[in-house]
A and B are shown apart, each in its own frame.
Chain A
Amino acid sequence: MSKTNSRLYHNTVISIVIGILLLPIVATFLYSISTRWGATILPDGLTLNWYLKLLTEERFLWSFVRSLGVCFAAMGLCIVLMLPAIFVVYYRLRYLKFICNMIVILPFAVPPVVGSVGLIQIYSDGLLPISGTFWILIFTYFTVIIPFVYRSIVNSLEAINYVDMIDAAKLLGANTFKAFIYVVLPNLKKGLLSAIFISISILIGEFVFANILVGTRFETLQVYLYNTKAVSGHYSSALVIFYFAFIFVFTYLASVFSKVERKSVKRRKN
């Protein structure tokens, strides 16, 4: 293969794959700003009406607020529960690290549909009848993000010399609790921020648990999106683009913070 030929080949492969990946997104965007797009290849005319309609639709705004509420609650719960547990394991019970890695991989390995079978049965009646309410979503979403929160916090913790930090704080008269709150925690800020952004961008797109466990009784963004499919394709497209723009911002922020983290790790190693 000559050089220009191989350049041509590589560019073709890149263009085809990127083209496949972008096509649905670009098409949805075009659809969301077009007046009518019937039996033609390109839309008839352009308008921003669908976005205006979206932003004035109360049902949409409420579903978005509900989604944000559940996502932030689940994320807060996850971080509050995992921080002390991770800290104890990494500071005192290091032989438990191996078990920890197994524990955090389980929510990742079990398909949501399988998890919802047990959840719906256990929490429909009995001691904790929370199926069909937002409580079950908060607690289930907590399990969904465990692997991501764990990775973010642990990466951040391993990048700093937390044992020396705590020893130094103790020499100066602090107890372990104070040392953790005032010395270690501020140094985990970037890891926590990356955990927050990645969790929100995952949870805001969650549909399976929301639809099976709660449905329209507490309509989240994804369930609302599913329910609008009969209304108008243009309106749904505007909703899809809105959602996509939202997760775009959050994944971008998550990558910024994890990048800063990686850079600081590198510097330490050099």
Chain B
Amino acid sequence: MSGLSLSEDSKNALHNESMAVKKLKKLFSYGLCLAPFMLFYLLFEVFPLVWVLVNSFVYEEEYSLENYMELFNSEFMTQAFENSLYLAIVSSIIALVLALLFINSIRTTNGKIKNILISLVNICSNFSGVPLAFAFIIILGVNGAVTLLLKNMGLIDGFNIYGSAGILTIYVYFQIPIAILLLYPAFDAVKEEWHEAARLLGATNCQYARKVVIPVLAPSIFGTFVILFANAIGAYASVYALTAGNYNVVTVRIAALVSGDIYLDPNLAAAISVILMVIMLIVVILNSLIIRRYNYVKNK
């Protein structure tokens, strides 16, 4: 009797041990699958960001707020932030309005044309950065075809593509396709019957748009605005290629401080980067607060 129970005990012990080994092996194999990715992710995504955050508080090898003080006291830097914010907000709003009008119109066309138009927009969404800046110089430069056309028609005296109006135009251009592609699926929530119902109740098209369509779409519109805003405030290639870094925006300042050939100050660049990220974070938080107000749409 006792011999039998002993052997059972040892069996259990053996069993437990092999279970533990198995568990360890399992954990090891999980680690083996996850570790390589995490290593590269930490090295090339997380560490650079941590470096930026830490070194923005380092001035002449000591922890201080000096970099931030320098930022807020420099008119040149605050101007860069003003320009960036202006470009980001205005270009996002213009692109949103154009996208809303465009989607509203293509919804009235038949399926095939709709698909072709959306594919076309998708292709245009790839046209940004350096190639876009070149194209803009060709059509809107001093001797650009569109500049000459408008001049001949007597509409303008000349157009300075390297000034704020020209840069705003290029920002609006690369924001429009993104706005359309992001907002287009949201319009599926708007039912055609609602339009008929609103009309039966005596609403005009304008009232219908203001009281029904916009509130239903509001969460998507604000969400799209956040992405457009982040896209514009972080944009660098287009404005750099267009003006060779002569127009004062935040990203151009950052790049000049880490890779320029006149004056390098990576820690100041880090401080600008932190402020830039904080601005983006504030917009995201504001957006989620606003969207919460519109939750009733989803609940119904």
Contact = CB atoms under 8 A, between A and B. Distances in A.
Interface of A: 1, 6-7, 9-11, 13-14, 17-18, 20-25, 27-28, 31, 37-42, 77, 81-82, 84-85, 87-89, 92-93, 103, 106-107, 109-122, 128, 139-140, 142-143, 146, 201, 205, 207-208, 211-212, 215, 222, 225-226, 229, 233, 236-237, 240, 243-244, 247-248, 251, 255
Contacts of A81: 36-37, 40
B259 interface: yes
Contacts of B137: 233
Interface string B258-279: 1100000010011001001100
B33 A113 contact: no
Contacts of A110: 45, 49, 277
A139 B33 contact: no
Given A27-B139, A208-B236, A251-B126, A142 B40 contact: yes
Contact of A229 (B128, B134, B148): B134
A237 B280 CA distance: 35
Given A121-B51, A251-B126, A24 B41 contact: no
Contacts of B44: 119, 139-140, 142-143
A27 B135 contact: yes
Contacts of B251: 111, 113
B101 interface: yes
Contact of A116 (B104, B143, B176, B258): B258
B: contact size bracket:
35 or more
A21 B51 contact: no
Q: Which of A13, A114, A146, A201 has the most CB of B within 10 A?
A: A114
A133 to B, nearest CB: 14
B73 to A, nearest CB: 21
Interface string B124-153: 101111111011111100010110110010
Interface string B226-262: 0000100111110011000000000100110011000
Chain A interface, DSSP helix/strand/loop, else mixed:
helix
Top 9 nearest A-B pairs (CB, nearest first) are: A118-B48, A111-B234, A24-B135, A84-B33, A118-B51, A10-B105, A88-B33, A13-B105, A81-B37
Contact of B52 (A114, A205, A233): A114
B165 interface: no
Q: Which of A24, A121, A201, A212 has the most CB of B within 10 A?
A: A24
A6 to B, nearest CB: 8
Nearest to A128: B43
A118 B234 contact: no
Contact of A139 (B40, B143, B241, B254): B40
B254 A38 contact: no
Interface string B163-182: 00000000001001100000
B55 A28 contact: no
Contacts of B269: 117
B205 interface: yes
A17 B49 contact: no
A233 B133 CA distance: 12
Nearest to B124: A21
A234 B247 CA distance: 25
A222 B33 contact: no
Nearest to A23: B139
A17 B176 contact: yes
A202 B220 CA distance: 25
Given A212-B255, A247-B126, A113 B52 contact: no
Contacts of A233: 134, 137-138
Given A14-B109, A111-B234, A88 B34 contact: yes
